[in-house]
Chains A and B, each alone.
Chain A
Amino acid sequence: MAIRTRMSGNEAVAYAIKQINPDVMPAFPITPSTEIPQFVASMIANGEIDTEFIPVESEHSAMSATMGASAAGARAMTATSSCGLALMWEVLYVAASSRLPIVLALVNRGLTGPLNINAEHSDSMGARDAGWIQIYSESNQEAYDNFLQANRIAEHASVHLPVMICQDGFITSHAVQNITLWEDEPIKKFVGEYNPEHYLLKEDESMAVGPYAVSNYCMEEKKAQAEAMKNAKQVILDVAKEFEAVTGQKYGLFEEYRLEDAEYAVVAIGSVCGTIKDAVDALRDKGMKVGLLKVRVFRPFPGEEMAKALKHCKAIGIMDRCESYSANGGPLGAELMAALFREKVTAEAVNIMYGLSGRDVTVGDMGEVFGWLEKMAAGELHFDEYPYLGLRD
């Protein structure tokens, strides 16, 4: 029987790690992800899992040791946030190009400047071109479910890429919410044993990882890696289907919430989607045709699929919890606008900056956003610049 209980997002991910029982977990503490390695260390201390924990001296070493363990043939994972991910940056690329199926629990927090510990997507968005699959979670349940699916995606023969499972710092990682935990046996069967084909410790062959490659070879290697990222799209959907068969939970590349007939749509990532759903319900009650497209998978980017799902809308608000200082909006805004253009979607569209450094977003704020979209579609409102939601004057 599944267990209905309540726990925080960090506890939920730690519970997933317990069920996966990985071989090696190197990690370094950083708020707000610190609890995850703490929970894992406790489980090891209490004999609940066989994992070896490596208490490394930095996140750079956390990712390096995770890479070493994965290349050696172990199922290896780590957890971090914010500056911790930034310190891993160099090795993120090496891990991806070495095609190592590492899983990273990322608890999203803004990068320093100024120092702030709250929810923002600047950490993972900064690493968006590092070659990692990125899957985002709205709630503790999704963080748990996504984490359980991560190894299957990463280790798939046509993928072999690292995966980061993201949840919003504090809002999801620390808030206690209801959750359904799945039974051990079917989950362990779903996740399966890790039996890689080639690895450093394979006794009947030696293997070399991390070459110097000249330009004669590099471009082909990069193309192969790009193809693997493309393949990941179908694999993510296939794994989700299998996960649904085990748990009844449905997952896709993104979630459409009352979007089918929506005239005004918002596109967003992460915990804010719960707030947006409440706003959508309230406005629908008033007869306004509004909807939400919640991005679950950001890498690979399902641009074509999202553009098609938004094609019928009159106005679209694209929400970014990350300033990219490009003077052109945030990363989701830039990439989705390009996808809308390619699909010849002619709806009015605006990129909206929200929730930076943990700034709260309310149902009322979202009512304001949908009001903007209605006016934009009617030709009554035009933004010369991408607006900041809830910015003090």
Chain B
Amino acid sequence: MSQQTFNFREIQERPDRLAPGHRMCAGCGGTIAVRNVLKALHPGDKAVVGNATGCLEVSTYMYPYTAYEDSYIHSAFENAGATLSGVETAYHVLRKKGKISSDYKFITFGGDGGTYDIGLQSLSGAMERGHDMVYVCYDNGAYMNTGVQRSSATPMYADTTTTPSGKCSDGKPQTRKDLAAVMAAHNIPYVAQTTFIGNMKDLYVKSERAIYTPGPAFLNVMAPCPRGWKYDTPDIMEICKLAVETCYWPLFEVVEGKWILNYKPKNKLPLEEFLKKQGRFKHLFAPGNEHLLEAFQKEVDRRWEELLQKCEA
């Protein structure tokens, strides 16, 4: 991680490109992701921000008010990738024709529903075609806007409104899709996975790289949702830290196909530390469910080992 590019104070003093006054919940991880990704735009650089339908969209551009300082476009749930690819292509033509001269960056945000699931095809197409844009998934692991339904990003055993835990159910039966690996398989120049750690340096550095790497880039940002995950709202930074320290959510980059691990915990914490703070996993701690915790731990370990192998290859 480059040290010289990160001056915490200078970056935090940059004017917010997501203005206050939007209707996102207090403590929403999505908002933290958007504010910090946009802070990685160099002052003075112009951008067009795209957005899939979701909490973020309905809370930041409620007619007639927009929270975005930059130009912004939303069209539907499953087409943020394609929509921004049209904007980016228009930019190249208009520049070629001499109709505009400024530099523009193109950044689109989608939740995990709009990215892992309904918008996967549109995202895949945009990345494969090589548009010079960044797709940022703020991954809160369920369809939060419609009321916490499971997505393919939802972790195993999570209690959601479509995978409720109960007498005959342990929560979501499937493991989560590894979207960062799917995007890396597109052979795009830059893929990274991050979340909110410390002074947001990891998020900042990866956002800046994603934005200023020519060609398509994909950022997967774990963005906890206090309502869906059922934790005490002020605990968000602790939750993120535990996700990383338990290796549930590793921090890594894939640069031009090369896998790079950005952080290896000295003492890998047991997964329980991350799970026990969240109401969505409460049923895993009921007597008799120890085997579920074991199975979940095994899955996290398996993925961590696989990642280590990729990064050491």
Identify the A interface with B (CB < 8 A): 23-24, 26, 50-52, 54-58, 60-62, 64-74, 76, 90-91, 94, 98, 200-203, 206-214, 217, 221
Question: Given the complex of chains A and B, what is the CA–CA distance between A58 and B85 in angstroms?
Answer: 13
Find out whether the CB atom of A212 lies under 8 angstroms from the CB atom of B63.
Answer: yes
Q: Which residue of A lies closest to B126 (CB)?
A: A61
Chain B contacts for A58, CB-based, 8 A: 121-122, 125
Q: Which residue of B lies closest to A74 (CB)?
A: B90
Chain B contacts for A209, CB-based, 8 A: 72-75
Find out whether the CB atom of B121 lies under 8 angstroms from the CB atom of A90.
Answer: no
How many residues of B are in contact with the other chain, CB < 8 A? 51
Find out whether the CB atom of A50 lies under 8 angstroms from the CB atom of B83.
Answer: no
Cross-interface CB contact of B85 among A51, A65, A94, A203, cutoff 8 Å: A65
Identify the B interface with A (CB < 8 A): 46, 48, 50-51, 57-59, 61-64, 66, 68-76, 78-79, 81-94, 96-97, 99-102, 104, 121-122, 124-126, 128-129
Q: Which residue of B lies closest to A23 (CB)?
A: B93
4 closest residue pairs by CB, A with B? A68-B86, A65-B86, A57-B125, A61-B82
Chain B contacts for A23, CB-based, 8 A: 90, 93-94, 97
Query: Shortest CB–CB separation between residue A304 and chain B, in angstroms?
Result: 33
Chain A contacts for B82, CB-based, 8 A: 26, 56, 60-62, 64-65, 68
Find out whether the CB atom of A201 lies under 8 angstroms from the CB atom of B62.
Answer: no
Find out whether the CB atom of A203 lies under 8 angstroms from the CB atom of B101.
Answer: yes
Find out whether the CB atom of A72 lies under 8 angstroms from the CB atom of B90.
Answer: yes
Find out whether the CB atom of B48 lies under 8 angstroms from the CB atom of A72.
Answer: yes
Question: Given the complex of chains A and B, what is the CA–CA distance between A305 and B59 in angstroms?
Answer: 45
Max count, chain B CB within 10 A of own CB: residue among A69, A72, A210: A72
Question: Given the complex of chains A and B, what is the CA–CA distance between A200 and B69 in angstroms?
Answer: 12
A201-B100, A211-B61 are known contacts; what are 10 more A-B pairs with Cβ within 8 Å? A24-B89, A61-B82, A64-B83, A66-B86, A69-B87, A207-B72, A210-B51, A211-B74, A212-B58, A217-B63
Chain A contacts for B121, CB-based, 8 A: 57-58, 61
Question: Given the complex of chains A and B, what is the CA–CA distance between A46 and B75 in angstroms?
Answer: 34
Chain B contacts for A70, CB-based, 8 A: 86, 90
Chain B contacts for A24, CB-based, 8 A: 86, 89-90, 93
Max count, chain A CB within 10 A of own CB: residue among B58, B79, B124: B79
Find out whether the CB atom of B92 lies under 8 angstroms from the CB atom of A67.
Answer: no
Max count, chain A CB within 10 A of own CB: residue among B63, B68, B84, B90: B90
Query: Shortest CB–CB separation between residue B65 and chain A, in angstroms?
Result: 9
Chain B contacts for A60, CB-based, 8 A: 78-79, 82, 122
Some 22 contacts from A to B, beta carbons below 8 A apart, are A23-B93, A54-B129, A56-B82, A56-B125, A60-B79, A61-B125, A64-B75, A64-B76, A64-B83, A65-B89, A68-B87, A68-B90, A72-B87, A72-B90, A74-B89, A74-B94, A94-B76, A98-B75, A200-B48, A211-B61, A211-B62, A211-B64
Query: Shortest CB–CB separation between residue B69 and chain A, in angstroms?
Result: 7
Chain B contacts for A90, CB-based, 8 A: 76
Work out how many contacts link A and B, with CB atoms closer than 8 A. 170
Query: Shortest CB–CB separation between residue A169 and chain B, in angstroms?
Result: 25
Q: A50-B96, A94-B75, A200-B73 are in contact. Are A61 and B122 (CB under 8 A)?
A: yes
Cross-interface CB contact of B71 among A57, A208, A212, cutoff 8 Å: A208
Q: Which residue of A lies closest to B59 (CB)?
A: A212
Query: Shortest CB–CB separation between residue A294 and chain B, in angstroms?
Result: 35
Query: Shortest CB–CB separation between residue B91 and chain A, in angstroms?
Result: 6
Q: Which residue of A lies closest to B91 (CB)?
A: A201
Chain B contacts for A56, CB-based, 8 A: 82, 85, 125, 129
Max count, chain B CB within 10 A of own CB: residue among A64, A68, A74: A68
Query: Shortest CB–CB separation between residue B54 and chain A, in angstroms?
Result: 10
Query: Shortest CB–CB separation between residue A22 and chain B, in angstroms?
Result: 9
Chain A contacts for B97, CB-based, 8 A: 23, 50
Chain B contacts for A73, CB-based, 8 A: 90, 94, 99-100
Q: A67-B86, A206-B69 are in contact. Are A91 and B75 (CB under 8 A)?
A: yes
Chain B contacts for A203, CB-based, 8 A: 46, 100-102
Find out whether the CB atom of B122 lies under 8 angstroms from the CB atom of A68.
Answer: no
Q: A50-B93, A72-B48, A201-B100 are in contact. Are A91 and B86 (CB under 8 A)?
A: no
Chain A contacts for B73, CB-based, 8 A: 68, 71, 200, 208-210
Find out whether the CB atom of B61 lies under 8 angstroms from the CB atom of A210.
Answer: yes
Find out whether the CB atom of B76 lies under 8 angstroms from the CB atom of A217.
Answer: no
Query: Shortest CB–CB separation between residue B215 and chain A, in angstroms?
Result: 16
Q: Which residue of A lies closest to B78 (CB)?
A: A60
Chain A contacts for B124, CB-based, 8 A: 57
Chain B contacts for A221, CB-based, 8 A: 63
